[in-house]
């Protein structure tokens, strides 16, 4: 409707102008090179208008001819850019879908149309990696690393390749160069942390680790690897303070306190860790300086006093009492541990030793011992250091799993995902 009204308005204006011109009075005369032109004013006005239109059209044609080459160049550039952008999009789709042939074809087309831009170089390198041509990708990464506008992209690609082939020295050099190009990059910080973990540089890993990282594991490992006693003590103290119940941290701290002559403080750290999360190595270190078996029973009682009803405390006391020949007390504690839910193989083996100690080589003793051993064969396996990431068991705790290299994942675990236990107050609870 608006278009129709517009046409009507324009037509009305044109008619009005034509009517006005037709109504003009008078004559027009012009002499050019001896020729005289005479006409009426309306005709002269109309002729002048036509002359202006013709001159304008001629000038436009001349301008079009003059600027045509530039416009053609811009048109071809736009066509190449549009084609290159389409090739880039197709390359990304091919990379996402794992189509290595399509990715390489479209990446080459994008590079031909757009030139060696950071985007096309990166896509070409990634397409080469997808096709298994690491040498091609390496060459392209090096080209990017030499350019000021793509240096970080190139260094990142080279760093990733070095990490994959476990060339730690080269990876460290590349990480340093990348840090100079883009200081404080979040990705680079994470990768440098991973590099520190893989090379066992725990102090560096602790320094670089961000929120959510296993700081306790890094600090503990750094303390164990530190040659300076004062620095090792500081790192161990930090680890123990962050997680008082983490046995490796408590042990690292207690070892250094003991070496510094602070035995009372070392025992306090071990007792605090036992209350939070009992672990046999804590008791072994706490009782290491006591050789007499009866004295070890007393020391063990004092050690577990704040968590005496925990099944691990009961089991420890049962073992100490058996070593001291206190079979009655050993049986009482062993049964208490078993009734509290500790039915692992070690409990039944302790009961088998207890039967042999109490009844000797008698028929009843052999029968009771055989029964305990039969239960031990079918019982749940004893807890071990186990990686929560890959599930593999380890002989010793480590800050990173030797199998899958995941940091901070090795925990003291039994075969079951959870075991019933008893809180210091004596209430049964469930621990994951």
**What's the pLDDT at 76?**
80
pLDDT tens sequence across 63-98: 777 877 877 888 787 888 888 889 889 998 998 888
**What's the pLDDT at 55?**
85
Whether residue 283 is contained in a domain is answered as yes
The CA distance from 252 to 288, in Å, is: 15
Whether residue 262 is contained in a domain is answered as yes
Whether residue 116 is contained in a domain is answered as no
Mean pLDDT (the chain, rounded)? 86
**What's the pLDDT at 259?**
94
Q: Is the pLDDT of residue 384 over 90?
A: yes
The encoded tokens of residue 287 equal 């009782």
What confidence category does residue 189 fall into, taking pLDDT thresholds of 50, 70 and 90?
Answer: confident
Task: Say if CB 302 and CB 314 are below 8 A apart.
Answer: no
| Mean pLDDT score, 25-53 | 72
The CA distance from 331 to 313, in Å, is: 14
pLDDT tens sequence across 122-137: 999 999 988 888 999 9
Q: Is the pLDDT of residue 416 over 70?
A: no
N residues, the chain: 432
| Mean pLDDT score, 105-120 | 90
pLDDT tens sequence across 169-188: 999 999 989 988 988 888 88
Instruction: Count CB atoms within 10 A of the CB of residue 332.
Output: 15
Which of the residue ranges 6-15, 58-67, 220-229, 407-416 would you say has the lowest mean pLDDT?
Answer: 6-15
Instruction: Name the CA radius of gyration of the chain, rounded.
Output: 43
Whether residue 266 is contained in a domain is answered as yes
Q: Which residue has the tokens 């899958």?
A: 404
Whether residue 76 is contained in a domain is answered as yes
Q: Where are the alpha helices (DSSP H) in 209-324?
A: 215-225, 229-242, 247-259, 263-276, 280-286, 293-303, 311-323
The CA distance from 164 to 143, in Å, is: 20
pTM over 0.75: no
Helix (H, G, I), strand (E, B) or coil at 397: coil
The CA distance from 179 to 160, in Å, is: 15
Q: Is the pLDDT of residue 166 over 80?
A: yes
Instruction: Count CB atoms within 10 A of the CB of residue 219.
Output: 30
pLDDT tens sequence across 242-263: 999 999 999 999 999 999 999 9
Helix, strand, coil content of the chain in percent (nearest 5): 70, 10, 25
User: Dihedral of the CA atoms 235, 240, 242, 244 (nearest 10)?
Assistant: 180
The CA distance from 310 to 245, in Å, is: 15
**What's the pLDDT at 272?**
95
Which residues make beta-bridge pairs with 428?
422
Q: Between vectors from CA 302 to CA 297 and to CA 303, what angle results, nearest 5°?
A: 95
What confidence category does residue 23 fall into, taking pLDDT thresholds of 50, 70 and 90?
Answer: low
Q: Which among 233, 266, 289 is the end of a domain?
A: 289
Whether residue 328 is contained in a domain is answered as no
Higher pLDDT, 308 or 62: 308
Task: Say if CB 400 and CB 214 are below 8 A apart.
Answer: no
Please state, for a pLDDT cut of 70, what percent of the chain lies above it.
92
**What's the pLDDT at 73?**
81
Please state, for a pLDDT cut of 90, what percent of the chain lies above it.
48
pLDDT tens sequence across 316-368: 999 999 999 999 999 999 999 999 888 899 999 998 988 888 777 777 778 88
**What's the pLDDT at 269?**
96
Q: Is the pLDDT of residue 47 over 70?
A: yes
The CA distance from 240 to 273, in Å, is: 9
| Mean pLDDT score, 35-59 | 76
**What's the pLDDT at 137?**
92
The encoded tokens of residue 343 equal 């039915």
> The domain that contains 252 carries what CATH number?
1.25.40
Range of 36's domain?
2-81
Q: Which among 289, 319, 349 is the end of a domain?
A: 289
Whether residue 402 is contained in a domain is answered as no
Whether residue 389 is contained in a domain is answered as no
The number of folded domains in the chain is: 2
Q: Which among 236, 264, 289 is the end of a domain?
A: 289
**What's the pLDDT at 26?**
66
**What's the pLDDT at 421?**
38
Q: Is the pLDDT of residue 41 over 90?
A: no
């Amino acid at each position: 409707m608006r278009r129709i009204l517009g046409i009507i308005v324009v037509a009305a204006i044109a008619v009005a102008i034509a009517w006005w011109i037709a109504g003009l009075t008078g004559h027009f005369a012009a002499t050019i090179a001896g020729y005289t032109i005479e006409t009426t004013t309306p005709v002269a006005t109309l002729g002048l208008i036509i002359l202006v239109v013709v001159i304008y059209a001629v000038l436009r044609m001349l301008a079009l001819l003059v600027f045509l080459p530039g416009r053609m160049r811009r048109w071809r550039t736009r066509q190449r850019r549009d084609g290159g952008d389409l090739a880039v999009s197709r390359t990304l789709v091919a990379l996402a879908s794992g189509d290595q042939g399509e990715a390489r074809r479209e990446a080459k087309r994008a590079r031909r149309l757009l030139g060696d831009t950071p985007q096309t170089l990166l896509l070409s390198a990634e397409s080469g990696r997808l096709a298994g041509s690491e040498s091609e990708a390496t060459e392209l990464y090096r080209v990017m690393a030499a350019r000021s506008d793509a240096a970080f992209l190139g260094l990142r690609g080279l760093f990733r390749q070095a990490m994959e082939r476990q060339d730690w020295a080269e990876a460290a050099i590349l990480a340093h160069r990348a840090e100079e190009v883009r200081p404080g990059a979040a990705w680079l910080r994470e990768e440098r942390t991973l590099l520190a973990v893989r090379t066992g540089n725990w102090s560096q890993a602790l320094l670089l680790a961000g929120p959510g990282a296993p700081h306790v594991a890094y600090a503990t490992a750094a303390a164990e690897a530190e040659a300076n006693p004062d620095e090792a003590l500081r790192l161990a103290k930090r680890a123990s303070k962050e997680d008082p119940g983490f046995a490796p941290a408590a042990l690292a701290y207690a070892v250094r306190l003991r070496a510094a002559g602070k035995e009372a403080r070392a025992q306090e750290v071990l007792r605090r860790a036992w209350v939070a999360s009992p672990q046999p190595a804590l008791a072994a270190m706490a009782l290491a300086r006591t050789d007499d078996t009866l004295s070890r029973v007393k020391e063990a009682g004092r050690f577990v006093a704040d968590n005496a009803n925990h099944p691990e405390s009961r089991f420890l006391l049962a073992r100490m009492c058996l070593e001291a020949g206190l079979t009655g007390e050993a049986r009482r504690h062993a049964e208490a541990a078993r009734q509290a839910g500790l039915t692992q193989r070690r409990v039944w083996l302790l009961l088998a030793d207890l039967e042999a100690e109490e009844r000797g080589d008698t028929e009843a003793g052999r029968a009771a011992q055989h029964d305990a051993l039969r239960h031990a064969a079918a019982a749940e396996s004893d807890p071990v250091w186990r990686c929560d990431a890959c599930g593999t068991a380890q002989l010793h705790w480590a800050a990173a799993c030797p199998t899958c290299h995941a940091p901070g994942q090795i925990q003291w675990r039994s075969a079951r995902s959870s075991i019933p236990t008893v809180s210091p107050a004596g209430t049964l609870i469930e621990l994951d």
